[in-house]
């Protein structure tokens, strides 16, 4: 069975990545790339050899769509897909507010369609191995967790508080909070957030450190800052360390890299290339399998709401200057 999938909006930095991967998957027809007007979709569509469409044209042609719009537009595009009985994989975070995230989740729950949030870190082999070891009881009792998801400042709509819902907290909290919930089966109960704008002149925060408490009492620290230099050879990192009463386990999603340096008259470059299994590829394969009825998206819309609740609590904490209980 050939599954028809499309990229709904080119705004997110991952739209090009997803389109290139979908174009290579077996028994998948990348039917199109959409924007509000066809003209805005032409560049990416031409790169991957598919059609440029409007959003309405795409949902009429596809079995499933990957929503890659600015966060503030997620609700509109998810609703459009649901009205046309189209499966949805939505970029993170789900919405710019917790109330909107809950509304999206509730509408998805009423439809018998595969829906989920794009969380490739759950498909990272180091994270899967970490989960296996944790569930086997290797670390004893969990005492603390630390994580990093630092990256380059992305610019564009990501630094527009109306379109993104915030800055680095909105952009880089989801992945590690979600994967820690998945590994440990614990929820974040309280957040204390320190945020600031240190590296760039922006209307949003570019640095943040979240100090959280999990439901079993363990401490959970996360650095999700846009602190990676723009000229750094690799975009950033995604790592988790679990400290227990018996031992410590750590996983680095993108640790398998080599550095390529070129210093010729025609080519001067320094880039770090990840050679491990691509979690984005596994994410998209799972979505296609879900459309076929062979799988379920690993990160549900309820999972998306739970990370949205942590983000909301973090911003409230930063504003009040004190720890805030997470309300789900």
Q: Which of 80-94, 132-146, 153-167, 224-238 has the lowest mean pLDDT?
A: 224-238
Estimate the crossing angle of helix 38-48 against helix 15-24, to 10 degrees: 50
Predicted confidence at residue 277, as pLDDT, reads 72
How far apart CA 147 and CA 169 sit, in angstroms, is: 14
Q: For 137-151, what is the mean pLDDT?
A: 97
Residue 218 has pLDDT above 90, yes or no: yes
Distances (CA, A) of 133 to 137, 139, 221, 248: 7, 8, 21, 11
Residue 255 has pLDDT above 90, yes or no: no
Is the separation of the CB atoms in 82 and 55 below 8 Å? no
Q: For 221-231, what is the mean pLDDT?
A: 95
Predicted confidence at residue 259, as pLDDT, reads 67
Predicted confidence at residue 256, as pLDDT, reads 62
- The token pair at 112 is 């018998």
Predicted confidence at residue 128, as pLDDT, reads 94
Distances (CA, A) of 213 to 168, 230, 250, 266: 20, 32, 19, 52
pLDDT in tens, 101-122: 999 999 999 999 999 999 999 9
Query: Which pLDDT band, with edges at 50, 70 and 90, does 233 fall under?
Result: confident
Q: For 252-275, what is the mean pLDDT?
A: 65
Predicted confidence at residue 83, as pLDDT, reads 98
How far apart CA 170 and CA 96 sit, in angstroms, is: 8
- The token pair at 125 is 């082999």
pTM of the model: 0.94
Predicted confidence at residue 13, as pLDDT, reads 93
- The token pair at 290 is 């879900």
Q: Where are the domains of the chain?
A: 3-120+281-297, 121-277+308-325
Residue 273 has pLDDT above 70, yes or no: no
Residue 215 has pLDDT above 90, yes or no: yes
- Check if 3-120+281-297 and 121-277+308-325 are the same fold: no
Superfamily of structural domain 3-120+281-297: NAD(P)-binding Rossmann-like Domain (3.40.50.720)
User: How many C-beta neighbours within 10 Å does residue 117 have?
Assistant: 29
| Residue carrying structure tokens 């609590």 | 313
Is the separation of the CB atoms in 218 and 143 below 8 Å? yes
Query: Which pLDDT band, with edges at 50, 70 and 90, does 1 fall under?
Result: confident
Residue 203 has pLDDT above 80, yes or no: yes
Superfamily of structural domain 121-277+308-325: Dihydrodipicolinate Reductase; domain 2 (3.30.360.10)
pLDDT in tens, 285-296: 999 999 999 999
């Amino acid at each position: 069975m050939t599954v028809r999938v499309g990229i709904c909006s080119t705004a997110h930095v991952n739209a090009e990545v997803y389109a290139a991967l979908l174009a290579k998957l077996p028994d998948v027809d990348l039917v199109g790339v959409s924007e509000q007007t066809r003209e805005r979709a032409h560049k990416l569509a031409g790169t991957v050899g598919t059609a440029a469409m409007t959003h309405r044209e795409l949902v009429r042609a596809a079995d499933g769509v990957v929503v890659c719009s600015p966060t503030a537009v997620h609700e509109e595009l998810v609703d459009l897909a649901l009205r046309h009985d189209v499966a949805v994989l939505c970029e993170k975070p789900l919405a710019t507010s917790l109330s909107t995230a809950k509304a999206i989740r509730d509408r998805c729950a009423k439809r018998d369609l595969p829906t989920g949030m794009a969380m490739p870190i759950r498909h990272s082999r180091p994270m899967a191995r970490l989960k296996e070891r944790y569930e086997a009881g290797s670390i004893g009792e969990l005492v603390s967790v630390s994580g990093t998801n630092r990256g380059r400042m992305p610019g564009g709509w990501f630094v527009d508080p109306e379109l993104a819902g915030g800055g680095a907290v909105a952009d880089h909290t989801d992945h590690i909070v979600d994967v820690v919930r998945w590994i440990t089966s614990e929820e974040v109960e309280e957040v204390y957030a320190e945020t600031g704008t240190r590296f760039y002149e922006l209307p949003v925060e570019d640095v943040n450190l979240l100090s959280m408490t999990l439901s079993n009492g363990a401490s959970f620290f996360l650095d999700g800052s846009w602190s990676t230099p723009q000229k750094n050879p690799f975009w950033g990192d995604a790592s988790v360390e679990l400290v227990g009463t018996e031992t410590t386990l750590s996983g680095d999603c993108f640790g398998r890299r080599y550095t390529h340096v070129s210093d010729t008259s025609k080519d001067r470059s320094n880039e770090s290339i990840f050679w491990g299994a691509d979690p984005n590829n596994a994410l998209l394969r799972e979505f296609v399998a879900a459309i076929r009825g062979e799988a379920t998206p690993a990160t549900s819309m309820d999972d998306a709401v739970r990370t949205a609740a942590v983000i909301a609590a973090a911003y409230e904490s930063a504003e009040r200057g004190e720890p805030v209980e997470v309300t789900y």
